[in-house]
Chains A and B, each alone.
Chain A
Amino acid sequence: MSATLAAPGAGLFRRLLENPGAVAGLVVMAVLIVVAVAAPLIAPHGPAEQFREHFLAPPFQQAAFPLGTDSLGRDILTRLIYGARLSLLIGATVVALSLSIGTLLGLTAAFAGGVLDIAIMRLMDVLLVFPSLLLAIVVVAILGPGLTNAMLAVAVVLLPGYVRLARAAALGELTREYVVATRSAGAGVLRLMLLVVLPNCLAPLIVQATLGFSAAILDAAALGFLGLGAQPPTPEWGTMLADALQFYQRAWWLLAFPGIAILVTVMAFNLLGDGLRDALDPKLRR
């Protein structure tokens, strides 16, 4: 079993490595993970440590503060490094939530059919009518600002994509002979759903999950920027940008570096997602 699974996996990885964008995305992702895990070891200072003699120190001038300091004298590089932890945490939590719930709802809709199917899909249509950031804002306005609620809000916003994909993929598999055979052999619904059909629906879901990572990081940063996500002094990148608002016209580095961190991270996951899509299904190649 493992041999048959490993073979397509290896082919997939080889095809992925042929795509320069995907390789760049993988490299950035690896660097981010290392930075996030080793944050206390590689960060020059503590994320909330204030150096009162060095307010708004410009970048590239002092070895102690390579990217400068903010209005409270905190080292920007350190905060960016700790922010990588938050961004990965946000991406992983949001994707885990929306992927698992969305897949379950989509499979349920496909298996149940009838009223339940219609109810689930109409609910997703309703969610899709709202511009994603607006829906996230409404959810956070109700739950209250904060990182946890922001992650919940973004997970809700990303839900419809997974539900639709999982349902469509499952419907395509349900009529296949292997499913009919397993069913007639007496397999229960849960077994059919999770062990028989789901593994064959994974390809589009994995692509969506990778792209979901970048959407989650971007939306959570936007909420942080609007003051609805992570609250200061949390070194979340979007919150750092909101902090910078008062001073950015005379201290560009407060603005530039957290934004570049967001852009590069989001771009890495987008490139990786596009690469995965091409590698998994050459037919989908645009």
Chain B
Amino acid sequence: MFRLLARRLALIVPTFIGVTLLGFLLIHSIPGDPVEVRVGERGISPERLAYFRHELGLDQPLWKQFLDYQGQLLQGDLGRSVVTQESVWTEFKTFFPATLELAACALLFAVALGLPLGVMAAVRRGSALDYGLIGLSVTGASMPIFWWGLMAVLIFSVALGWTPVSGRIDDLYYVEPWSGFLLIDSWWSDDAGAFRSALRHLILPAIVLGTIPLATIARMTRSAMLEVLGEDYVRTARAKGLAPGRVVVVHALRNALIPVVTVLGLQVGALLGGAILTETVFAWPGVGHWLVESVQRRDYNVLQGGTLLIAVLVMLVNLGVDVLYGVLNPRLRH
């Protein structure tokens, strides 16, 4: 177990250096001098330009700049936003809980619906339910989620008035930020109205963001279950006279879960990518929204730092999935 973990950790180091190098080179390939771009039309004297370039380390050779950047990163310094002058890490910490809350609820929705649907479709293979699920999962997997989000707003918010159009909570509530997760914070605040409002704001974006993972999970569960249900040990369990439900849930599902867990891990990258679009559609104040705004404001420090943090997050989740995979499937431990 420890060897697996150590090997995977060793693989992360070159990938991390590669990710930082790629981010560094991409940002440095932006045409135009950062100082001149920031000064804009006003212009700047050559002396002051040289001074600022020196201050920012831009007069150093590229490899030196990269090493300095690595040194900064190791000290946890991701730079400052050009627009707000706030440190990128501080901004990320402000916006990330909103994204995490949204993504967690989306994943919860996808698993809670996708797992049982996949199992039922596999057990009743060839039934109307099975074909319906296949059709839905093909549709879900092809869904342009920004469009799906807007259609959902149009139907459920504008036409039916069931949910709010955008945001995380109604303006009339103030919730003391403690964990950053509004559902938890508003629950603790003992203001039932605030909790209900937060929940009502969350439902639609979570469903929209969870749609593609739902399609993937349902499909994966179905095919994994079909494979496992044909195994000898399942037939043996049935022959022993075990209750059909017990065979499916205890014997088959446990092994069918192995590929599903891998797919779940892969969904995290997709969720964070999808969060960019979902947060834009619902004006959800999360990391995706923040990054899109940074592009529009040409705030490259934020774009670079935020992208790096998300990449690190995906790397860590992949690591976690690999380890979990080892726990679920003892054959892989060695």
Contacts and interface: CB of A to CB of B under 8 A. Distances in A.
Chains A and B bind each other:
yes
Contacts of B14: 122
Contacts of A132: 269, 273
Interface string B268-301: 0110111011001000000000011001101010
A204 interface: no
A220 to B, nearest CB: 11
B29 A221 contact: no
A12 interface: no
A226 interface: yes
Contacts of B292: 137, 226
Category for how many chain A residues contact B: 35 or more
Interface in B134-164: 138-139, 141-144, 146-148, 150-151, 154, 158
Contact of A142 (B26, B141, B223, B273): B26
Given A131-B269, A134-B310, A267-B138, A126 B144 contact: no
Contacts of A142: 26-27, 29-30
Nearest to A139: B26
A134 B291 contact: yes
A130 B311 contact: yes
Contacts of A248: 150, 154
B154 A249 contact: yes
A80 B257 CA distance: 42
If over half of A's interface residues share one DSSP class (helix, strand or loop), that class is named, otherwise mixed; here it is: helix
Given A248-B150, A259-B144, A122 B26 contact: no
Contact of B277 (A130, A133, A139, A258): A133
A180 interface: no
Interface string A266-281: 1100110000000000
B273 A134 contact: yes
Category for how many chain B residues contact A: 35 or more
A129 B273 contact: no
Nearest to B147: A259
Contacts of A244: 150
B329 interface: no
B106 interface: no
Interface in A94-140: 122-123, 125-127, 129-134, 137-140
A138 B280 contact: no
Contacts of A127: 22
B15 interface: yes
B197 to A, nearest CB: 21
16 contacts: A129-B311, A129-B314, A129-B315, A130-B307, A130-B310, A133-B273, A133-B277, A134-B291, A139-B26, A141-B295, A225-B280, A227-B296, A255-B154, A258-B147, A263-B143, A263-B144
Interface of A: 21, 122-123, 125-127, 129-134, 137-142, 214, 218, 221-222, 225-228, 238, 241, 244-245, 248-249, 252, 255-256, 258-259, 262-263, 266-267, 270-271, 286
Given A133-B273, A138-B303, 17 more contacts: A21-B138, A122-B15, A129-B15, A129-B314, A130-B19, A133-B277, A134-B291, A137-B295, A138-B26, A138-B307, A214-B142, A218-B142, A225-B277, A225-B280, A226-B280, A245-B150, A267-B138
The 8 closest A-B pairs by CB, nearest first: A131-B273, A259-B147, A126-B18, A267-B142, A133-B273, A266-B142, A286-B223, A141-B295
